[in-house]
Structure 1
Amino acid sequence: MRIKYRHFSKLFNLTNHKSHLPTGSEVLTSYLTQCKEPPWTSYFIKYSSIKDDQWGKSHFNWKVGNSNYHILRTGCYPYIKYHCTKRKEQNLTLEDRFFRVIKVINLGLPCLAYGIAAIYLIRHEELVYTCKGKVTIYFLYKEDKGSLY
């Protein structure tokens, strides 16, 4: 008896189970737009809520509307942490490589510890609206939108 691929893939969950989720970059852009391009923000998002299309990036430029942001990003399981600061575009290749090397040298253990601590320290959450639906992002405390510091 011959098993068709689609039945086989359902049986063993071989299809991309995250195909219906927005990408991390979609959530990032949507949130910065939703907040009217704030001067800075810092949030966590669960790995399970997105497709991670920015894997391996630690420090990079991100354009949203009329603004450029410097994004500091790190995996801290079960979250990804984003820190966004509105700044002029710069070449961040050296800094990106530096942060990546530091994470590899310390085997990601501080990032894991940060993620475990975040589970207990997160006190606020907000919804981000994307083309693929709502996504919850998390904060250590409620931010004052538009605050310079």
Structure 2
Amino acid sequence: MLRKFAKSTLPKASTVLTSHLRQRCYPHWTSYFVKYKNVINDQKGQSHFNWEVDGHNYHILRTGCWPYIKYHCTERPLQDLSLEDKLFTLIKIVNFGIPCLAYGIGALFLINHKETVNTTSGSVFVYFLYKEDPHAKF
């Protein structure tokens, strides 16, 4: 059962990311939103990075789009993503985050599917613009 968390017991966003990828049995890709208020934002400032889960490497595109954090995950080989990470962060700064805010507000109206992700700190909803086929390659 989902529950309200005290701030100190919220799961980390990184834990939700790892748990979601495991729960989905290491999909080729996935793209979801998680509410800021339901996680500790421990990946703040990271826009494009590698994330390893049980021997599977993912390229993660991540952005804050209030009231959500948006993750796009693609299983790919380990690669130096530091230049892209800096570039995406710079673009967000130059645009004052306005497109990210617009994306988050738009998502409030476009999200039509949610799933529960179980973590060691409890369960959290993740949200999708549409229901994904967990076996899809594209």
Task: Tell me the TM-score range normalised by the shorter chain.
Answer: over 0.9
Report the TM-score, using the length of structure 2 for normalisation. 0.95
Per-residue CA deviations over 1:101-134 (Å, capped at 9, x if unaligned) read: 0000000000000000000000000000000000
In structure 2, the residue matched to 1:13 is none
Residue 106 of structure 2 corresponds to residue 117 of structure 1: yes
Paired residue type of 2:86 = R
Q: How does 1:128-143 map to 2 (within 5 A)?
A: 128-143=117-132
In structure 2, the residue matched to 1:45 is 34
Aligned counterpart for 2:45 among listed residues 35, 56, 71: 56
Per-residue CA deviations over 1:40-63 (Å, capped at 9, x if unaligned) read: 000000000000000000000000
Aligned counterpart for 1:107 among listed residues 96, 99, 104: 96
Secondary structure in 1 matching 2:25: coil
User: 5+ residue gaps in structure 1?
Assistant: 1-16
In structure 1, the residue matched to 2:59 is 70
In structure 2, the residue matched to 1:83 is 72
Secondary structure in 2 matching 1:90: coil
| Aligned residues between the structures | 133
Report the TM-score, using the length of structure 1 for normalisation. 0.88
Paired residue type of 2:8 = S
In structure 2, the residue matched to 1:32 is 21
> Aligned residues: percent identity?
59
In structure 2, the residue matched to 1:12 is none
Pairwise CA distance, 1:146: 1.3
Pick the structure with greater CA Rg: 1
Per-residue CA deviations over 1:5-46 (Å, capped at 9, x if unaligned) read: xxxxxxxxxxxx521100000000000001110000000000
In structure 2, distance between residues paired with 1:24 and 1:129: 12
Q: Which has the higher contact order (CA 8 A, sep 6+)?
A: 2
In structure 1, the residue matched to 2:133 is 144
In angstroms, what is the RMSD of aligned CA positions?
Answer: 0.6
In structure 2, distance between residues paired with 1:37 and 1:143: 14
In structure 1, distance between residues paired with 2:19 and 2:66: 22
In structure 1, the residue matched to 2:3 is none
